[in-house]
């Protein structure tokens, strides 16, 4: 019984953790103070790809690093909500190597949802994610750098970082770290999937 409790505690801490700029996975952060201006700033300056309900009035921004397994877990958790919410995934790069190349590949993909699903499946399987050219056009690299600076401007230092408006309250909400589907739905003010 004690063994099961330890496993459950470890699973819970993993589900709430995120990846930070440091080598070790980050512990869950204290909530970052966000406002409507933060939400608007991300919407106007973040460069990402959109998936989910394209015509939805509810948008959730997710700043993520392509090499972050916690971001992969959040991607998986978001899939059941794609019919209700427009998600904009904004890549940042804590790792100048693979992260930048993979972010560029995702941003330029003809079908970012399929590319992201395949990438995250590979990453979570421990095979490193998608293969991507290290030759990233300067303008695209600049956009990824700007996304990373945007994360810093928001006061967050780990990913995934979610910024959205709660559908029920209209309040801007944020979360640093991965969530399971019910917790993500609750953050966004949605009925449970």
Tell me, yes or no, whether 22 lies in a domain. Answer: yes
Tell me, yes or no, whether 73 lies in a domain. Answer: yes
pLDDT at 56: 92
Tell me, yes or no, whether 193 lies in a domain. Answer: no
Q: What is the pLDDT along the chain (193 residues), one digit of tens a residue?
A: 433 333 333 333 444 456 766 544 444 444 566 778 899 999 999 999 999 999 999 999 999 999 999 999 999 999 999 999 999 999 999 876 799 999 999 999 999 999 999 999 999 999 999 988 888 999 999 999 999 999 999 988 889 999 999 999 999 999 999 999 999 999 999 987 6
Angle, helix 2-16 to helix 69-78, in steps of 10 degrees: 90
Number of domains in the chain: 1
75 exposed, middle or buried (CB, 10 Å; 0-12, 13-18, 19+)?
Answer: buried
Please report, for the domain that includes residue 153, its CATH number: 3.40.30.10
What's the number of CA atoms in the CB half-sphere (13 Å) around residue 12?
6
Which range of residues forms the domain containing residue 170? 2-188
The CA-based angle 86-91-92, given to 5 degrees, is: 140
Q: Are 66 and 98 in contact (CB under 8 A)?
A: yes
pLDDT at 184: 97
Tell me, yes or no, whether 90 lies in a domain. Answer: yes
Angle, helix 98-107 to helix 138-153, in steps of 10 degrees: 100
């Amino acid at each position: 019984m004690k063994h099961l409790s330890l496993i459950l505690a470890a699973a819970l801490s993993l589900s709430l953790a995120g990846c930070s700029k440091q080598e070790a996975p980050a512990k869950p952060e204290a909530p970052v103070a966000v406002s409507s201006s933060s939400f608007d700033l991300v919407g106007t300056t973040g460069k990402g790809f959109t998936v989910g309900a394209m015509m939805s009035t509810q948008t959730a921004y997710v700043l993520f690093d392509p090499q972050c397994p916690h971001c992969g877990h959040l991607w998986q958790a978001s899939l059941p909500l794609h019919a209700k919410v427009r998600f904009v995934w904004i890549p940042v790069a804590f790792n100048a190597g693979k992260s930048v190349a993979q972010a560029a590949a995702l941003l330029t993909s003809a079908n970012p949802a399929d590319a992201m699903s395949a990438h995250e499946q590979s990453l979570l399987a421990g095979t490193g994610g998608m293969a991507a050219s290290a030759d990233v056009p300067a303008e695209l690299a600049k956009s990824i750098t700007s996304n990373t600076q945007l994360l810093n401007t928001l006061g967050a230092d780990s990913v995934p970082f979610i910024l959205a408006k709660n559908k029920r309250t209209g309040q801007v909400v944020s979360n640093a770290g991965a969530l399971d589907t019910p917790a993500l739905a609750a953050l966004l003010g949605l009925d449970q999937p």
